[in-house]
Amino acid sequence: MAERTVVVGSAQGLHARPAKIFVGEAARQPVPVLISTGGKPPVPAASILAVLALGAGHGAEVTLSAEGEQAERVLDELAALIARDLDAEEPDHAEPA
């Protein structure tokens, strides 16, 4: 099983908006991904409720894990996403003014 440990970069942690972005990307991957933090059991990264329940705040270390042919690539991409400050980025579909 491939693993990556990464520090949460979003200013408010993996709360609503960053969690939604992360979970959406995790759900699109060709292999199932698990995420854990603080000694808690791993949960499916494609589950918004499970990811929110982790309570991973800014600066928390989370561990991603996956198995399969593309696990290394998938974990690299998702780890890079978590490390960014997703709160500071503009949404893909901005509301009209």
Q: Name the more confident of 89 and 26.
A: 26
**Matching residue, tokens 């699109």:** 28
10, 15, 35, 46: the catalytic one is 15
Report yes or no on 72 lying in a domain: yes
Report yes or no on 15 lying in a domain: yes
* Joined tokens for residue 26: 């995790």
State pLDDT tens for residues 34-83: 999 998 999 999 999 999 999 999 999 999 999 999 999 999 999 999 99
14 close to 49: Cβ distance less than 8 angstroms: no
Burial tier of 47 (Cβ tally within 10 Å: 0-12, 13-18, 19+)? middle
Report yes or no on 95 lying in a domain: no
Report yes or no on 77 lying in a domain: yes
Q: How many domains, the chain?
A: 1
Report yes or no on 94 lying in a domain: no
Burial tier of 86 (Cβ tally within 10 Å: 0-12, 13-18, 19+)? buried
Does the annotation count 15 as an active-site position?
A: yes
pTM, whole model, 2 decimals? 0.89
Report yes or no on 32 lying in a domain: yes
CATH code (residue 48): 3.30.1340.10
Calpha distance 61→51 (Å, rounded): 13
Instruction: Give the range of the structural domain holding residue 45, as residue numbers without chain letter.
Output: 2-83
